[in-house]
Structure formats: C-alpha cells, structure tokens
Amino acid sequence: MVTGQTGTDQARTPPQWRLSVLYVVLVVMLFASMLTGAVPLSLAQSLKGLSGGDDLAATIMREIRLPRTLLALFVGGILGISGAALQGLMRNPLADPTVFGAPQAAAFGAVLVLYSGMAGALSVVLPVAAIGAALLSFAVLMWIVGRDASVVALILAGLAIGTLAGAATSIVIALSPNPFAVTEIVFWMMGSFEDRSLLHVGLSVPFIVVAMGLLLSQGNGYRALVLGEDSATSLGLDVSRLRWITLVSVAMGVGAAVAVSGAIGFVGLIAPHCARLLVGADPKRILWPSLLAGSLLMVLADVLVRLVPAQTELRVGAVTALLGVPLFVAALRRHRGLFVGGGA
C-alpha cells in the first residue's frame, strides 16, 4: 500500500490554532464572495440588500450572490471530505472522486434526464439521477478492479469511466434540441456556480449535508484501516459496511453537487492534501479540515473566476483543475515507485 510522506519525523499532535487559520480565511473568503460581482455594490448596500428590501441590491445579494456563495461552500465541502474519505478507505493519497470518474458519471446522469425531457432543471429527479449515475460508476469501478486494487488499476479504470461518461455527456447534449448546446457542454464538463438560485441550493444541500454527516461519522473506521483490512477486522470493524457507507455517501454528495454545479474536478485531491499539512496524516483527523479546505478552495476559485476579466466568465472547474492537476502529478511522481514494483 501507499505510504504517505507528508508527516514529519517528530509527529506530535498538531496545535489547534492551525485549524483556526482555516476558519478565519474561510470567513474572509465568504465575505469576499458576497462582495464580488459584475455590479459594484458598496459594503453598506450589500449588507442592506442581504437583510431585506426589494431594490436592485437586494435582488443581487439574495438571488445571485447568496445562492452562489452557499453552493460553492457546500459543493467544495462535500468534494473535500469525499476525497479524504476515499483516501482513508483506499489507504491511498491519490484517491479522489474525479480520478475515479464519479463526477463525470454524475454529470452524464443529470444531462440524460434533463435533455431527454424526463425532468426539468429544477426537479428533484435531477440530483437523484446524478446520484444514481455516480453510484453506478463506483459499482463499475469496483467490478473492474476488485477489492484489493492497486493504484494503477484504480486510476486506469477511473480514467476509462470518466472518459466514457464525458463522451456520452457531450453526445447527449449535442443531440438535444437546445440551441445553447456548446455552452451547456462546457458547464457540465467544467462546472460553474453562475446563475444559480436558492432553489438549486434547496435541491442539493440536503443530500450534501446527509452525506457529510455520514462520512464524518466513519472516522474511527478509516483510522483502523491504517493497519490494513485484517487488523481492522480483528479490531471489530465491519470493513465491507464501511466501504458501502463511504461509496454511497460519496456518490450521494458528489451526485447532488454535480446536479447543480456541473462536474468540478480535483478538489477532493487538493483539500485533504492541505488538511494533512495542517493537522497531520491521521485519516480521522483530516476529515473536518478537508471539508473546510474544500469549501475554502471552492469559494476562492469562484471569487477568482468573477475577478478575471474575460469575455465569458471563466469556469470554476478550470481553476480547480489548474490547481489540482499539478498536485496530482507531483503525488504520482512521489509514488511512482509503485508503478515499477518498488516501494513508495
């Protein structure tokens, strides 16, 4: 199995203040997100608009910026903790929903019901279809690689699933009678929080919160798995139950997130990596910080896409990929020993 190397030789329980830094930066970013947009609003106007009224400022704050900020917060959080949970389960720092093809599959599920006319854009069928497709992708992944999968097998199988789902998505969109097909393809492939409403929040956040709660409750299981499946079983852990809860929760959270925001990649890889720098490698202790780091990253990326002057707004998934892919490559290089049969 992969040995993470983020720890220092003197691995002591890290100080609590490091986590406080995460909270502070997250709050600052949330304010930044609420104060950033195409229409310049002063701080006073923004606060007034948020608290009530029916003028332009109120409409902008409550119908544009608030849903967008909330979605970035929750979608980032679930992607971050999903990565941490999958890494704990697989005992592998390269595990991530995107690497396994889950968001791509979820996007296909959502696009399929949306463009076949089975459901409208604000129907609960949309997240349910996305969750179902994400579950199916995990089932196929597990069927391909089996239980004790090597890193290479997981990445290759995930690549196959993600590529297939991406191709199927673009075909479905291209065949639909929608005149905006090209922009829609970009949305489902790269993700965005543009033009989302509180209805989108209501559609996805309940699923996301349940998934977060389930994953947060499995910390002792991931920690026991550090010793391997046999030791964990002998300590009283039901490993197959843990595997089920994890995969179903990740599918539920990622599926619901993708249904409203499109497929946003690599946050599940970056967030746990940041969390480990702050609190050490313990797979239980990184769960909550990974959630926070995911939220922080996503809100930050969503502020950035609004600040960069461009003809059409940048896609938030492009920003997270720009941050995530180099990290993924660096991790691959560090663990490349695995690919030639040597140690990590």
Q: Does 248 bind other proteins (CB under 8 A)?
A: no
Minimum CB–partner distance for residue 254 and other proteins (Å): 23
Site for other proteins, residues 307 to 326, rule: CB under 8 A = none
Residue type, 57: A
Q: Are 133 and 106 in contact (CB under 8 A)?
A: yes
Site for other proteins, residues 176 to 235, rule: CB under 8 A = 220, 223-231, 233-235
Helices (H), 36-150: 43-51, 56-59, 66-90, 102-115, 125-145
* DSSP per-residue string spanning 66-94: HHHHHHHHHHHHHHHHHHHHHHHHHT-TT
Q: Are 78 and 253 in contact (CB under 8 A)?
A: yes
Part of the chain binding other proteins (CB under 8 A), chosen from 2-10, 22-30, 73-81, 167-175:
2-10
Residue number with CB closer to other proteins (65 or 223): 223
Residue number with CB closer to other proteins (215 or 224): 224
- Give the DSSP H/E element, type plus range, for residue 290: helix 287-307
Q: Does 145 bind other proteins (CB under 8 A)?
A: no
By rule CB under 8 A, what string of x and - marks binding of each residue 75-94 to other proteins? ----------------xx--
Residue 178 is given by DSSP the state -
- Give the DSSP H/E element, type plus range, for residue 26: helix 17-35
Minimum CB–partner distance for residue 278 and other proteins (Å): 15
Q: Does 96 bind other proteins (CB under 8 A)?
A: no
Distance from C-alpha of 143 to C-alpha of 271, rounded to nearest angstrom: 28
Helices (H), 176-266: 181-190, 198-216, 219-224, 229-234, 239-261
Residue number with CB closer to other proteins (116 or 231): 231
Q: Does 16 bind other proteins (CB under 8 A)?
A: no
Count of residues in contact with other proteins, rule CB under 8 A: 35
Q: Does 8 bind other proteins (CB under 8 A)?
A: yes
Site for other proteins, residues 269 to 298, rule: CB under 8 A = 280-283
Residue number with CB closer to other proteins (9 or 54): 9
Interface with other proteins (CB under 8 A)? 1-13, 91-92, 220, 223-231, 233-238, 280-283
